[in-house]
Amino acid sequence: MTAKHLILIAAGGSAALLLGAWAFQLAGYAPCQMCLWQRWPHGAAIVIGILAYAQPMLAWAGGAAAATSGGIGVYHTGVERGWWDGPASCSGGGDLLSGDLLSTEIAPVVMCDEVVWQFAGLSMASWNAILSLGLAGLWVIAARRT
């Protein structure tokens, strides 16, 4: 496979992951703060993929974007499994969010340390980490072929 083919596959993979995230959201699975963080690098990888098709040396930047989403996914997985603390704004049982704040008409806060969906024992954050790091590998292979 050529570098351009790999770039298209990697950028397409990020597009597929974003579309999947939005599909889950439409199905009623509201994203937490950290889920949203994981989406931004995929958006960047898509834009980089478009640019890298013309200038394949940008594949390194695509790899960095995918790896960033994967790293956030690993961090989010650790928060979900209780390996380390997450951001106070969306984890820890919501103690900082109790009281009248939650009784207003503002949308409820989705907690980052709660798994709302899983497949084969892995949460969405875990799957994002695995798939994003795989995409990062494709970007690196593409970059090395330029």
Q: Give residue 97's pLDDT.
A: 47
Q: Give residue 146's pLDDT.
A: 84
pTM (two decimals): 0.86
Separation of alpha carbons 43 and 39, rounded Å: 7
Separation of alpha carbons 114 and 18, rounded Å: 21
Diameter over CA atoms, the chain: 58
The answer to whether 83 touches 48, Cβ cutoff 8 Å, is no
Count of CB atoms within 10 A of residue 133's CB? 16
Q: Give residue 106's pLDDT.
A: 59
pLDDT along the chain (146 residues), means of 10: 95 97 94 94 97 94 98 96 91 54 60 91 96 98 93
Q: Tokens at residue 120, please? A: 């084969």
What amino acid occupies position 56? P
Q: Give residue 98's pLDDT.
A: 47
Within 13 A of 63's CA, how many CA atoms are on the CB side?
16
